[in-house]
A = this chain, B = another copy of it.
Amino acid sequence: MRTTQYLLSTLKETPSDAEVISHQLMLRAGMIRKLASGLYTWLPSGLKVLRKVEQIVREEMNKAGAIEVLMPVVQPADLWEESGRWEKFGPELLRIKDRHERPFLLGPTHEEVITELVRKEISSYKQLPVNLYQVQTKFRDEVRPRFGVMRAREFLMKDAYSFHLTEDCLEKTYQAMHQAYCNIFDRLGLEYRPVLADTGSIGGSTSHEFHVLADSGEDAIVFSDGSDYAANIEKAEALPPQGERPAATQNQEKIATPNTHSIAQVCERLKIDASQTVKTLLVVGANAEGEEQGVVALVVRGDHELNEVKAEKLENVFSPLTMANEAQIQQAVNCSAGSIGPVDLNIPVIVDHSAAHLADFVAGANEDGFHFTGLNWDRDISHYQVADIRNVVEGDPSPCGTGKLSIKRGIEVGHIFQLGTKYSEAMKAGVLTESGKHETLTMGCYGIGVSRIVAAAIEQNHDKFGIKWPAAIAPFQVCVLPMNMHKSHRIPDVANKLYTDLQQAGYEVLFDDRKERPGVMFADMELIGVPHVIVIGERNLDEGLVEYKNRQTGEKQTIKIEDVLSFIQQQMV
């Protein structure tokens, strides 16, 4: 491709509304343009990358025996009423009406549509198992779309759905998909980790997320240094402290702590460590039907963080987890949020294992301006439950029993679920078994954020000059960069020949034939991140040489003109 016949659209300035590096670089390198909030047009270079990711995903899905279909973007509401999600799904589900005022939606996911298809097309156990996938545009009406295509409203996703007669059969396909995902991310050339994950609103039992590791990742993921254990921090179990709780040595004492609202302020004033305090958070409670009812106190150690996913799974806590508002707090404890503590509360109190292991600890006195010191469980606080409701921290013992935990940041790019019968039961999808019995299908589902991978790859692979694409997904493989082409005949002749030769050898070549200053051309190619750059300049030509630069390593060397093709071929191996 000649740049003069292409839409390069690079930008010198970093757009002010782009917060993360991938968003900045995708705009600057001419990969995407914003059409409206959370809606992006893919420019030619971006689309090339997107299609390469899509193709690798497709090939590995096919290799794993999945069969490709294509379901509509627009879905009828009645299927979502059947599954119960028409009501339950939040405003991220964009509900629309057609000209006849019939309700539809823009698909954020396709469980209902695939289950509708399968219950009509598959009637016998002989047709099972089956794993159907698509690569399709999805829409989620995010309240605050951000980070470019990382959290867009319209995005490209690969979603697969498998159907089985037994849990064992599901487990096999689940493992095959786990392996296929590893193959995909290996081929993409990304550093990634599969981690245990929560199943969230999609439902089901077992679930793994696939994370591209990057410091800018929104998720914290947790690893054992002694085993393969890896999990999203949402999911990672915090083991209860070992041994007996220390005995009480202090008396409960109420002390004045004016203008002390945070754990940090309490610690400073009392010259203690945060690990000797607890913080008490009030959240909305739930009755046996899961409806909102009253408030519940959650207690974690002062140096720990509440794990919302763990908390909202507790029986008497409303899901999704909702912090109590000021009125609810006033009604329950008659003090401000910074002064709450577990003593003498007449609401349910749930205490994290680590907090419940403390003796002689400090907590709010449920009275503005006062804290208790010398608190001890059972002696001073009698009604409470103990549960795992905190995030693990660096150095915690691994829940697998071996090693200690460390934490890294990740970008979620894939998620696989053992769904079970959540959708097939609600939508009555079943088959006749060998013995003629009607059996409800067991489902798995497997998603990859195709467009998000493009952004994640950049978060992981960039430097101050621009993108450093992994070879498999670079928009172009080679760039031919003639310096001051219009000033000589030799340079365009050599450049044209190399361009033609490399193209004929099957490479995707970007030939920068613009009349731009060398500095501009270099900067653009670094920004776009073409892995292999051939620079053609007067001085080297005198000796029959061109310069080669590797974008990944930064290495430069001169090569004989006649060796360029074989040299590039060697680089590709």
Contact = CB atoms under 8 A, between A and B. Distances in A.
Interface of A: 4-7, 9, 33, 35-36, 39-44, 47, 50, 65, 67-76, 91-92, 94, 96, 98-99, 104, 106, 113, 116-117, 120-121, 126-127, 130, 132, 137, 139, 141, 143, 153-154
Contacts of A141: 98-99
B116 A69 contact: no
Contacts of A72: 35-36, 39-41, 154
Given A7-B121, A96-B96, A132-B7, A39 B106 contact: no
B41 A69 contact: yes
How many copies of this protein are present in the complex? Answer: 2
Contact of A117 (B6, B33, B69, B92): B33
Q: Determine the main DSSP class of A at the interface with B.
A: mixed
A63 to B, nearest CB: 13
Nearest to A137: B73
B98 A67 contact: no
A528 to B, nearest CB: 15
A18 to B, nearest CB: 16
A74 B113 contact: no
A74 B42 contact: no
23 contacts: A4-B126, A5-B67, A6-B67, A35-B72, A35-B75, A35-B76, A35-B117, A36-B72, A41-B69, A41-B70, A43-B69, A47-B69, A47-B70, A73-B73, A74-B106, A74-B153, A91-B99, A92-B99, A94-B98, A94-B99, A96-B96, A98-B141, A98-B153
A166 to B, nearest CB: 18
Contacts of A126: 4
B69 A120 contact: no
A59 to B, nearest CB: 13
Given A41-B71, A74-B154, 7 more contacts: A35-B72, A35-B116, A42-B70, A47-B70, A72-B154, A92-B99, A94-B98
Contacts of A143: 99
Contacts of A40: 72
A94 B96 contact: yes
A110 B83 CA distance: 34
A132 B9 CA distance: 13
A69 B35 contact: no
A33 B132 CA distance: 14
Shortest beta-carbon contacts, A-B, top 6: A42-B70, A36-B76, A91-B99, A39-B72, A96-B96, A41-B71
A73 B154 contact: yes
Interface centre among A4, A7, A33 (most CB of B within 10 A): A7
**Among A65, A70, A76, A106, residue most surrounded by chain B Cβ atoms (within 10 Å):** A70
